[in-house]
Amino acid sequence: MKALVYGGPGNKSWTDVPDPRIQQPGDVIVKIDTTTICGTDLHILKGDVPAVEKGRILGHEGVGTIVETGPSVTGLNVNDRVIISCIKSCGHCANCKAGLYSHCLGGEGQEGTGWIFGHLIDGTQAEYVRVPYAENSLHLLPAGVSDEQAVMLSDILPTGFEIGVQYGRVKPGDTVAVVGAGPVGLAAITTAGLYGAATVVAIDLDANRLEKAKEFGATDTVLSGSRDWKEQVLALTGGQGVDVAIEAVGVPATFGMCTDIVRPGGSVANVGVHGKPVELHLENLWIQNISISMGLVNTNTTPMLLKLVAQGKIRAEKFATHHFGFDQFLDAYDTFSRAAETKALKVIITA
């Protein structure tokens, strides 16, 4: 089969690799119909995720059709259409029973890590993928939900909601600032309303993304390149600061921005994947009673979010801005990596 293979920092290729095979009784093989590229894939290509070895097939998002099932799989069948969760779950370890799928203690590459696709085992940017613990790691695709909508449920929607909105403890009436209006930031913006946020402020360097943010539910926008960006945010809160600041970029400067604008007693939720250390001014933050959260998505909200997408209450298809075929994979990466120029949010790649 063909797959997008990581060749070390800065190197990737769309090339021939062996087809995946059933390795464990709970595995299935999924033919990938639709996949996409995540900002985390770009971090991998920069060398920010050293656990990813040369030769690894990248990708952790996908929608496809089951073509083979392992002998212990009873709840899934060949020809079922499924969403592949970016996090695998064995379903029976202590962490999975607690809903902490991101730290599943089942095997597959490294015990205690739920993110394995395109990380510790081969991923979804390929014609076929092996899915371990399939009955807990796949979601049946309901009629009426398109591939474009469904692939957003592999990662960005649960990530923005769980790590941004839930970990940030958004409450009814809150003012929420989201620093970074890329796909995950927009996912946090569009799901903040589920918990009753009254004001949602999008902050970004890119004026085009700020305009997009309004379509996803932002009530206000602030261009972070402005000298008075901080004053603009504080003015929206009567000078008090925001209740919740969500970091959705993954660089030290944007984390610092969040701690600068959060009110005393507020929360900073870090969603971005960081490749460098971040300075944390505890000498200032402790006396303000600031809560700081971070984490890897568990995807335990995916079934709920899927219902909302199916009902048209979350317009997941709006994230899709560019479309490519599998034979254009490298073009898709080029477009996604130059998002400021190409105005790309999520690129859709179909077989």
Q: Which of 253, 274, 294 is the last residue of a domain?
A: 294
| Structural domain boundaries, residue 22 | 2-154+299-350
Let me know whether 274 and 334 are in one domain: no
**What is the number of domains present in the chain?**
2
Q: Using the CB atoms, write b or e for 124-163: b if 16+ within 10 Å.
A: bbbbbbbbbbbbbbbbebeeebebbbbbbbbbbbbbbbbb
Let me know whether 81 and 189 are in one domain: no
- CATH code for the domain in which residue 188 is found: 3.40.50.720
Let me know whether 285 and 322 are in one domain: no
Let me know whether 20 and 149 are in one domain: yes
Let me know whether 17 and 138 are in one domain: yes
Let me know whether 262 and 321 are in one domain: no
Q: Tell me, what's the pLDDT at 110? A: 67
Q: Tell me, what's the pLDDT at 115? A: 94
Q: Tell me, what's the pLDDT at 109? A: 60
Let me know whether 168 and 256 are in one domain: yes
What is the CB neighbour count within 10 angstroms for residue 72?
Answer: 11
Q: Which of 269, 294, 319 is the last residue of a domain?
A: 294
DSSP 34-52: EEE--HHHHHHHHT--TTS
Q: Which of 274, 294, 314 is the last residue of a domain?
A: 294
For the chain (length 351 residues), average pLDDT per consecutive 10? 97 97 97 96 90 96 98 97 96 94 84 90 98 97 96 98 98 98 97 97 96 97 96 97 97 97 98 91 95 97 98 96 97 96 96 95
Q: Tell me, what's the pLDDT at 106? A: 87
Judge whether 94 and 47 are in contact, CB under 8 Å.
no
Let me know whether 107 and 246 are in one domain: no
Let me know whether 146 and 190 are in one domain: no
- 228 Cβ partners below 8 Å, 6+ apart? none
Let me know whether 57 and 93 are in one domain: yes
Let me know whether 13 and 119 are in one domain: yes
- Pairing outcome for strands 81-84 and 62-69: antiparallel
Let me know whether 181 and 286 are in one domain: yes
DSSP H helices, 53-153, are 94-97, 134-137, 147-151
- CATH code for the domain in which residue 135 is found: 3.90.180.10
